Amino acid sequence: MSNLGAHGKQTVDIGRMLDDGVFSGFQKLVVCLAALSIVMDGFDGQLIGFAIPSLIKEWGITRSAFAPAVAAGLVGMGIGSAFAGLFADRFGRRMAIIGSVFVFGVATSLIAFSPDVTTIAILRFCAGLGIGGALPSSTTMTAEFSPARRRTLAVTATIVCVPLGGMLAGLFANAVLPHYGWRGLFLIGGLLPVAFSVLLWFVIPESPRYLARHPHRWDELRRLLQRMSRPVSADTGFADAREQAVETRAGFGALFASGQARDTMALWVAFFMNLLAVYSAFSWLPTMLAGEGLSPSVAGAGLTAYNFGGVFGALLCALFITRFGSRLPMLLCCLAATASALFLRSLDVASQTTLLVVGIGLHGLFVNAVQSTMYALCAYIYPTQVRATGTAAALAFGRLGAILSAFAGALVITQGGAAGYLAMLAGAMLMVFVALLVVRKHIPRVNAGAAETLKKESHA
């Protein structure tokens, strides 16, 4: 992992040290902090879905009147995703994460004081900037603190915190809405991530792979490696040989250089259609179920089941990817998501409520399995220099699908009811299947050497 540089100084290959080394307790702590920021992200991002039925009743307005407010948040997420990736690659992952969490926390808490839908839309846009920025920054941080053999599972476990946060938001909404209303829901729900951003300021470090690229910050990297149980001498230099061998330039243009264009475009389409399906559920699933005559508690339970299934689906898919590579598990999950949506169309929503909620949970399992592991796929496809930019660009393009869901969800539910809504979800996931089939650089299975190291770690 080290050799002598041009002036006889020791040079450490930071990439090899991280990729092939042990997964220390401090690294796991950083991954947990990144994951908690995504829990907050998913929590605040989905509060609007639980609040809309109460707002419609209190203000006496239609579902369609809320479409611009939902869309505004998603537009903010798209912009936040794009700029946070560029910010993280230029100025570091640490400040991108802290700033994102702080921004969406403050904006969400201010929604509590909104007098009308227009104000909610403006504040949702501001919150979206932070919500969109947290995902690429946190997944990049996780990828760069995790050894290669653990990376897929670590990144997926981070992203799975989006539906986990949504599931907690459902439980939170059930407890808060009856007593404090939608204003209390947003106020308390926003102050939690503000407090967490303060904690991150004092605890979370910068990515070692990012620090290795900036010689003026090597002293900071040496101190960080000491905390990671990898002490180095004061005159040690750093390199990242594996990635320097394949990188040619940084910036947005690098996503289409050196044979990356096909995978980049395929990822963008996959993110677009997958986020169309995901945010159609996040924003409109309770409203759709309420429109079919189900009680607010059952409508909320549908979205909670969707998120609950997503947590398990993402982790199971990550484990299968470790064993078989990413192509087969992700493609099978796409097909299963399509089939489960079509199965839900065959149910009588009014009389088969229990089976409906279980089916929604299974659909969420397969959809979120694909969504969460696509971030790990991005981390594999793009090298360090453009990893945050590549992930953020795919997510930003995907947010266009999420924005479309704000209007398409309201329109389809109004005109086609549950059957039309579920057909839209099935069609979207079928398109994700086609896009992932086109991707060439899928994650390979864990090799024998890495598996042996993994086994030793588990017994350590």
pLDDT value, residue 215: 87
- CA 295 → CA 48, 53, 290, 307, 353, distances in Å? 18, 11, 6, 19, 11
Q: Given this model, what pLDDT does residue 242 score?
A: 64
| pLDDT on residue 367 | 93
- When pLDDT is averaged across residues 353-365 and rounded to a whole number, the result is 89
Residue type, 16: R
Rg of the chain over all Cα atoms, to the nearest angstrom:
22
Q: Higher confidence at residue 6 or residue 257?
A: 257
Residue 190 pLDDT greater than 80, yes or no: yes
How high is the pLDDT of residue 452? 47
User: Full-prediction pTM beyond 0.85?
Assistant: no
% residues pLDDT > 90 (the chain): 26
Name the burial class of residue 68, with classes exposed (0-12), middle (13-18) and buried (19+) by CB atoms within 10 angstroms of its CB. middle
**In this predicted structure, what is the pLDDT of residue 459?**
44
Question: Are residues 401 and 275 in contact, defined by beta-carbon separation less than 8 angstroms?
Answer: yes
Give the list of residues 6+ apart from residue 94 with CB closer than 8 angstroms, or none: 141, 204, 205, 206, 207
Task: Tell which wins on pLDDT, 202 or 458.
Answer: 202
For the chain, the average pLDDT equals 83
Whole-number pLDDT of residue 251:
60
Confidence of residue 6 (pLDDT cuts 50, 70, 90): very low
The residue behind tokens 């209303």 is 181
CATH of domain 14-459: 1.20.1250.20
Phi and psi, residue 325, nearest 5°: 85, 170
Rounded to an integer, what distance in angstroms lies between the CA atom of residue 48 and that of residue 51? Answer: 5
The mean pLDDT value for 28-40 works out to: 92
Give the pLDDT score at 447.
Answer: 61
* pLDDT value for 453: 45
| 257, pLDDT greater than 90 | no
Torsion sign over Cα 257, 317, 24, 460: negative
Q: Return the top range by mean pLDDT from 25-39, 58-72, 230-244.
A: 25-39
pLDDT higher than 50, residue 460:
no
What confidence score (pLDDT) does residue 252 get? 63
Q: Is the pLDDT of residue 419 over 60?
A: yes
When comparing pLDDT for 24 and 251, which is higher?
24
Q: Where exactly are the structural domains of the chain?
A: 14-459
* pLDDT-based confidence at residue 294 (cuts at 50, 70, 90): confident
Residue 456: count other Cβ atoms within 10 Å of its Cβ: 10
What is the per-residue pLDDT across 128-159, written as a single tens digit (0 to 9) for each? 999 888 888 888 899 888 887 888 788 878 87
